[in-house]
Structure 1
Amino acid sequence: MTIPANGSRRMPAGLIALTLGSFGIGLTEFVIAGPLPQVSLSLAVSEAAAGWLISGYALSVAVGAIVVTAATSGLSRKSVLIGLVALFVAGNLLSAVASDYPVMLLGRVARPCTKDRSCTPGSSSCPTEKGKGSRGIRGSLFACVP
């Protein structure tokens, strides 16, 4: 970390990007729980069926992280990170324009595959001292979520 002439410490841009990305991923995971009744009404499904938008996301994280990690382990971290961020954005766009339940579920299930693997290359590409800090930032973002 560099210390400017005025004595203040600046956070590296990569660490700021990782923090914002982790916040965005965490937000998309949990934000749907609050307005679930309204989501079920707008998609014309029961609240129980709309609950699968949350459960499907969680199952996709559990299964998708293993599959994506195994499939991308031999690729460069930068390429993997760029591809997974693109998939995350595509899943968000699909969910945003979804007019029916299957499209919304597809958008929700496509995104979590990016969750664990997209943060790992970012935090592991930091030097050891900074890498510990980036994992601490990611952990603190998710520790606050009920």
Structure 2
Amino acid sequence: MEGGSVVVARAITGAEFDEALGRAERLLDSFDRIGARARVSSVLVAGSALAAFLLLALIVATGLPAAAAVAVAVVGVAGEGLTIVAILRHVRALHAMARRDERAMLEVVDMLRELLPDIAKEEGWGPARVQIAAARVSRFPIGRRGSR
């Protein structure tokens, strides 16, 4: 017991290592897909804002009577505003999912990085298997992700 905490380590097998690494790889793929969806959503927000601006420009260019122009502008801009709000709510949910997947992925990978040399030694892995496992683990970021 050091510093008031007890650490209990249980060795895992090579098969368990491979299974955990596969789970982490699926989480990384999910994280990347979520990021792509968030980027598409950001483009949709920009498109909606542009559509609202173009609607206002079209109203001015057509010279509609003031009352009609105001009515069209209010309805159009309100519709685009609601679209933007809905997309931003979706993006917020995507970011929450990404943070969840990232935390789980990093927790698993940090453990695997630490255990890899011991498992390889205990199970007598050959150099090729160790190199393949190390290459798979190296795909993952260290700590919190910035950009890949």
Do the structures match in fold with TM over 0.5? Answer: no
Q: TM-score, normalised by structure 1?
A: 0.37
Give the TM-score taking structure 2 as reference length: 0.37
